[in-house]
């Protein structure tokens, strides 16, 4: 998907969709399970603000008409927790995968033009 707006909030939207997806999957599959977000320290304040907003107000557009409904996030245990990527092989692996996907996307978009 191409982003056509200059003021598109990539981090906020990506985190919102991820939290909503985790919430929905846990609700359907595991019922009473809860989750936490552990992230690299870089953007933790923006992530905290987004997670807190979703716990208070979370509008979800309807698939059937142009209305929306509220479904606040209830299974998130607490705010996203920071962890230095030097201390976590898992976060280093996630950073590597994000870099590889970004590199692949930039190479294929140049080839298409």
Considering only CA atoms, which of 44, 53, 42 is closest in space to residue 76?
53
Q: Do 34 and 4 share a structural domain?
A: yes
Neighbours of 95 (CB within 10 A): 14
Q: Do 68 and 17 share a structural domain?
A: yes
The 3-state DSSP class for residue 12 equals helix
Count: domains in the chain: 2
**pLDDT value at position 4?**
72
Q: Do 34 and 89 share a structural domain?
A: no
Q: Are 79 and 48 in contact (CB under 8 A)?
A: yes
What is the rounded distance in angstroms from the CA atom of residue 100 to the CA atom of residue 68? 36
Q: What DSSP state is assigned to residue 84?
A: -
Q: Do 97 and 51 share a structural domain?
A: no
Q: Do 63 and 106 share a structural domain?
A: no
Q: Do 46 and 92 share a structural domain?
A: no
The 3-state DSSP class for residue 7 equals coil
pTM to 2 decimal places: 0.71
> Tokens standing for 80?
């996203």
Q: Do 54 and 40 share a structural domain?
A: yes
Q: Do 78 and 89 share a structural domain?
A: no
Q: Note down pLDDT in tens along the chain; length 113 residues.
A: 566 777 888 889 899 999 999 998 988 888 788 999 988 888 899 999 999 999 998 888 888 888 888 888 989 999 999 988 888 898 889 889 999 999 998 888 766 65
Residues 6+ apart with CB under 8 A from 40: 82, 83, 84, 85, 91, 95
Q: Do 3 and 56 share a structural domain?
A: yes
> Tokens standing for 15?
């985190």
Full domain range(s) for residue 98: 84-113
The 3-state DSSP class for residue 69 equals strand
**pLDDT value at position 90?**
87
């Amino acid at each position: 998907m191409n982003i056509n707006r200059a003021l598109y909030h990539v981090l906020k939207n990506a985190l919102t969709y991820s939290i909503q997806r985790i919430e929905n999957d846990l609700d359907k599959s595991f019922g009473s399970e809860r989750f936490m977000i552990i992230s690299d320290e870089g953007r933790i304040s923006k992530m905290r603000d987004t997670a807190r907003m979703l716990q208070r107000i979370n509008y979800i557009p309807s698939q059937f008409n142009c209305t929306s409904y509220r479904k606040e996030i209830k299974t998130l245990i607490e705010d996203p927790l920071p962890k230095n990527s030097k201390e976590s092989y898992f976060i280093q692996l996630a950073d590597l995968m994000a870099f590889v996907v970004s590199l692949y996307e930039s190479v294929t978009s140049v080839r298409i033009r």
